Amino acid sequence: MGCEDVRRVIYFFLDGSLNDAKLREISRHLDDCPDCGMRARIQKRLRQFIRRRLTPVAAPERFKVRLSRSLRALSYEL
């Protein structure tokens, strides 16, 4: 696998979604190739950053109450 190929699958490598053989192959490449290794580190950190900043927004309590009521009303209607 060349650098181009590795760069296209870095995300999937970081997701842990590649099979073992590919995983080993890419790990080896990232250890040996400083440029690809650097990109993998950058992408990993960017993703961590995005995940941390996009904290989940919980549904408002009053909405949950309203939703439950609507569902119950529907169960009587149907």
Partner 1 sequence: MKSAVANDHEQGWDFEKAAMPYVDSLYNTAYRMTRNSEDAEDLVQETYLKAYKYYDKFEEGTNFKAWLFKIMKNTFINNYRKKKLTPHKIDFSEIEESYERVIQKNAPDLIKDPESEIFQDMMDADVKRALDSLPHDYKMVVLLADIEGFSYKEIAEILDCPVGTVMSRLYRGRKMLERTLLDYARKYGYIRGGAEPAKMRSRKDDLKGRKKKDEGAEEVEVREPDENEEEILFKEEEDFEFEVADEEDEEFAIE
Contact 6, 36 (CB under 8 A): yes
Check binding of 2 to partner 1 (CB under 8 A).
no
CB of 33 to partner 1, least distance (A): 13
Please, which residue, 9 or 33, has the CB nearer to partner 1? 9
**How many CB atoms within 10 Å of residue 26?**
21
Task: Report residue 44 CA to chain centroid gap.
Answer: 10
Tokens of 2: 């060349």
Chain positions contacting partner 1, by CB under 8 A:
5, 8-9, 11-12, 15-22, 38-39, 41-43, 45-54, 56-60, 63-64, 66-68, 70-72, 74-76, 78
